[in-house]
Amino acid sequence: MRDAPSHGFASLLPLQTCDLTFTAANGSRLIHGIDLTLDAGSLTVVMGPNGAGKSVFLRLLHGLLEPTGGTIKYAGEPLSDAIRKRQALVFQKPVLLRRSVAANIDFVLKLRARPGSTQPDPVRRDELLDQVGLLDRAAQPARQLSGGEQQRLALARALATRPDILFLDEPTASLDPASTLMIEQITSDAHAAGTKIICVTHDVAQARRLAGDVVFLSNGHLIETANADDFFSNPKSREAQAYLEGRLIV
């Protein structure tokens, strides 16, 4: 079984943003001219206080929001439908279909199935559910799951697409310690198999465990990008220092 990229296409990386800007319909600027390059090889963790714009930033990278300024390039190519199909995003608040747990996975498997084979593959579905510890819940309505179970299902659904780039928005926010470690393991495995992981988290310990490099946002600005070891041992910006110390950033 592989959750890693399933094809021999060219890499999507490096991911480069240039003066990336986003202004909401109500006129407030949520992302201020971010210039950033993310390469293959290292697991990227995005950190920053609540309301910093982390979720908006992921949405922009994944093409769910249209930048109001600047550019996003994947291996030099502008974001296209073909590129978007090779990405997956686990939302901070997962939206599950009003169907059973299994049907939520089946929906995605059918979507990504080779043309011709319209039946989702039950073996792969069960593998995925097993991986996130939900196999015995396959028949249950997805919306009845507990908070942590829903988050795990959303991750399994994202893995079902075998993405080249996986965006995770606080994937373990309401998971118990064991599930958290389980998800971290799955994430590391995917990373090792060549999937680029870009993960938002507030859990500093988790960030330390996972991160290869850290992107720190605050107030819509890119404050700092650094190698993880450097960032945690010696954050350069005042904002990152305050964040790590649990102080309010003013």
Partner 1 sequence: MQDVSSAFWIAFGLVAGLDADLLEIIALSLRVSLFALVISCLIGLPVGAVLAIARFRGRSAVLIALNALMGLPPVVVGLIVYLHLSRAGPLGWLNLLYTPTAMIIAQAILITPIIAALSRQILEDLHTEYAEQFRSLSVPAHTMMQALIWDARFSLLTVALAGFGRAIAEVGAVIIVGGNIDHLTRVMTTAIALETSKGDLPLALALGIVLLVIALTVNGLVMALRMTAGRQAYA
Ligand X SMILES: Nc1ncnc2c1ncn2[C@@H]1O[C@H](COP(=O)(O)OP(=O)(O)OP(=O)(O)O)[C@@H](O)[C@H]1O
Q: Which letter, b or e, does each residue of 149-177 get, where b requires 16 or more Cβ atoms within 10 Å of its Cβ?
A: bbbbbbbbbbbbbbbbbbbbbbbbbebee
Integer-rounded Cα Rg, in Å, for the chain is 18
Verify binding: residue 88, partner 1, rule CB under 8 A. yes
Residues 51-110 that bind Mg ion (CB under 5 A): 55, 92
Contacts to ligand X from residues 39-58, by CB under 6 A: 48, 50-56
List of residues 6+ apart from 80 with CB closer than 8 A: none
Q: Which of 54, 61, 35 is nearest to 200 (CA)?
A: 54
Among residues 148, 241, 244, 249, the one that binds ligand X under rule CB under 6 A: 148
Among the listed ranges 62-70, 129-137, 184-192, 239-247, the one in contact with partner 1 (CB under 8 A) is 62-70
Burial, 190: exposed, middle or buried (Cβ in 10 Å; 0-12, 13-18, 19+)?
A: buried
Determine the longest span between alpha carbons in the chain, in angstroms: 56
Q: Which CB, 5 or 94, lies closer to its own copies? A: 94
* Contacts (CB under 8 A) with its own copies, residues 63-102: 92-93
Q: Is residue 141 at the binding interface for partner 1, with CB under 8 A as the rule? A: yes
- Say if residue 14 is preceded by a cis peptide, omega within 30 of 0: yes
Instruction: Return the residue of 1, 7, 26, 116 that touches ligand X, per CB under 6 A.
Output: 26
Per-residue binding string, its own copies, 192-221, x by CB under 8 A, is: ----------x-x-----------------
Segment lying near ligand X (by CB under 6 A), choices 36-44, 72-80, 147-155, 180-188: 147-155
Candidates 1-9, 11-19, 95-103, 173-181; binding stretch for its own copies (CB under 8 A): 173-181
Q: What DSSP line would sit under 219-250, residue for residue? A: TTEEEEEEEHHHHHHS--SHHHHHHHTTPPP-
Q: Which one of its own copies, Mg ion, partner 1, none interacts with residue 152, CB within 5 to 8 A by kind?
A: its own copies
